[in-house]
Chains A and B, each alone.
Chain A
Amino acid sequence: MTATAMTTTAMNAAAALPLLQVDHLSMRFGGLVAVDDVSFTAMDRQITGIIGPNGAGKTTVFNCLTGFYKPTVGRLALSHSDGREFLLERMDGFRITQHAHVARTFQNIRLFPRMSVLENLIVAQHNKLMRASGYSVFGILGLGVYRRAEQAAVERARYWLGRVGLTDRANDEAGNLPYGAQRRLEIARAMCTEPVLLCLDEPAAGLNARESEELNELLKFIRDEHKIGVLLIEHDMSVVMRISDHIVVLDYGRKIADGNPEKIRNDPTVIRAYLGEEEDETLPPEVARDLGVRG
């Protein structure tokens, strides 16, 4: 298992280009320094895990990336494969999604609960639809241009529904889905915006072992087939260690380590900060999580 994981990592690393470069990112709230001079690079077509004990500043990094916060200091450069570069710290939130193509999910589920599952996925594609519909004028008239665009949007939505196994729930209200299905729908919705960088904030939280296994498969599929970069915040070590190509460890807002899973697993600083004094690979994830609250 480790051997194959290593080869894929090596292969990906060979093909990968830097996708996101975070340089000296700091975020202060009054006197509180939530993120302190963090720099790292996330490669294209790789899963980059961000781990760290509670309150380490992981979600704050995401909030800076997606325009929720304006970083106090720092540069967040996203490079598209066509050579265009976007400085995310200067962009308005919805433009980050529209033009820079960064998508994200949240720790707590934020679907549109009173829309159907299918509609949740179509809302995510509205930018193209708005253009095609001539800002709704053609849409009301039911012109062909709009119908074709909408057809394409529905097809993409159906493709992702199939991917996350929700095809037969397409017309149900999203709020009525079981928890695990809502999590998968969130990822599908984020993918419908056609991102180049997908930021997932604890996607495995609250999933059982089987669901978490399915999530691993889905994320690997997204990385390998859709060839995009994934940024993953996760507490569940069984997820992070097995699917990340690269891991960034934060503690108290600072980066304390950076490397492939093998290196992180053996890094004494990480072990001290994250798992307590002693490393134990056989720890069940819940225990590892509890240990995350520093001992």
Chain B
Amino acid sequence: MAYFLQQMINGLTVGSMFGLIAIGYTMVYGIIGMVNFAHGDIFMVGGFIAIIAFMVLGLLGITWVPLALLCILILGMAFTALHGWVVERVAYRPLRGSNRLAPLISAIGMSIFLQNYVQLLQGARNKALPPIISGGIEVMDMGGFAVKLGYMQIVIVGLTIVLMIGFTLLISRTSLGRQQRACEQDMKMAWLLGVDVDRTIALTFVMGAGLAAVAGLVWLMYYGVIDFFVGYLAGIKAFTAAVLGGIGSLPGAMLGGILIGLIDTLWAGYFSNEYHDVATFAVLVLVLIFRPTGLLGKPEIEKV
């Protein structure tokens, strides 16, 4: 029981990170119907920007942890969002209106480019960060097994919840969110009503990249290491999460992320550490067979 609880806590933490990345996939898919395969690498870039920001702040002597974290959060989101914007501008916007496969290939190219770009600038070796937030609370002690809730885990889950609430409000309440939903449902018509569709799409990329930056930062702080290839698997898992929850649905992305996190951790905790990726993707296959639209996705009804 205690072991299970511990695994749940760990799974929830990992799942939050997948969820944050998955939102970027699902939003971009929702608005332009394209899978942005470079998104995982944007997440990796976010991690690297965070590690650079940590060093710069260290040099500047800002060491009070809450302040430093806030600075890094803002800097990381800003610079990663800039990467997201540039990727959209350079690799996807010129291809708008062409064959659906073209931006997909362009995305894969962008993914390879970003990996190499970081590898060249930062080197191929792991970058490590000493733990900044350590320790935790002992939730309970059952028969010699202490269930621990790390402070870092609290920070990750708390940050994710805050961002999710902010994000839901942004989409449902503000004019920008309304524009995004309008573009999602009928881009041409939104354009005719005076919506600057290109800008709305660019902002969608910027927001997705901003959330990926947060994921990159907490990933770095949770695991303590990052390398230029980390975006590949994390990106694919987050994409799986988005599909699992129903691609195009924001709560679906979050739910999918948490489920993927839990499956991953529970498999590793109860069976073997070796096949946890396989387990994750097996669940995806099962969901797609029995519920192709994902858990929260609405089936697309085509009128004849």
In the assembled complex, B189 has its CB within 8 A of some CB on chain A: yes
Q: How far is the CA of A130 from the CA of B176 in the complex (A)?
A: 7
Given contacts A119-B178, A123-B195, contact A112 B173 (CB under 8 A): no
The reply to whether B196 and A112 form a contact with Cβ atoms under 8 Å apart is: no
A129, B179: Cα distance in complex, Å: 11
Which chain B positions have C-beta within 8 A of A104? Answer: 192
Q: How far, in angstroms, from A110 to B185 measured CA to CA in the complex?
A: 10
Let me know if A176 is at the binding interface, CB within 8 A.
no
Alpha-carbon distance between A98 and B197 when the two chains are bound, in angstroms: 13
Task: Give the A-B pair count, Cβ closer than 8 A.
Answer: 83
**In the assembled complex, B170 has its CB within 8 A of some CB on chain A:** yes
In the complex, residue of chain A having the shortest beta-carbon distance to the beta carbon of B176: A136
Interface residues of B (CB under 8 A from A): 166, 169-170, 173-179, 181-182, 185-186, 188-197
Q: Is the CB of B186 within 8 A of A94?
A: no
A189 to B192, alpha carbons, bound, how many Å?
A: 11
State whether A94 touches B185 (Cβ < 8 A).
no
Contact of A97 among B170, B175, B193 (CB under 8 A): B193
Q: How far is the CA of A147 from the CA of B174 in the complex (A)?
A: 10
Chain A, residues 97-128, CB within 8 Å of chain B (1/0): the string is 11000011010001111110001001110110
Q: How large is the interface on A (under 10, 10 to 19, 20 to 34, 35 or more residues)?
A: 20 to 34
Distance, CA A119 to CA B172, complexed state (A): 10
A119 and B177 CA atoms in complex are apart in Å by 11
Chain A residues near B (Cβ < 8 Å): 66, 93-95, 97-98, 103-104, 106, 110-115, 119, 122-124, 126-127, 129-130, 133, 135-136, 139-140, 150, 189, 193
- Bound-state CA distance A150–B173 (Å) is 10
* B170: contacting residue among A114, A129, A136, A193, CB under 8 A: A136
Q: Which residues of A contact B179 (CB under 8 A)?
A: 123, 126, 130
With A and B bound together, what is the CA distance between A143 and B192 in angstroms? 29
Tell me, rounded to whole Å, the shortest Cβ–Cβ distance linking B198 to chain A: 9
6 more contacts with CB within 8 A, not counting A110-B189, A136-B174, A139-B174, are: A98-B196, A106-B189, A113-B185, A123-B182, A123-B195, A140-B170
Measured between C-beta atoms, what is the minimum distance from A140 to chain B in Å? Answer: 6
Contact, CB under 8 Å: A193 / B182: no
User: In whole Å, how far is B14's beta carbon from the nearest beta carbon of chain A?
Assistant: 28
**Residue from A95, A97, A139 in contact with B176 in the complex, judged by beta carbons closer than 8 Å:** A139
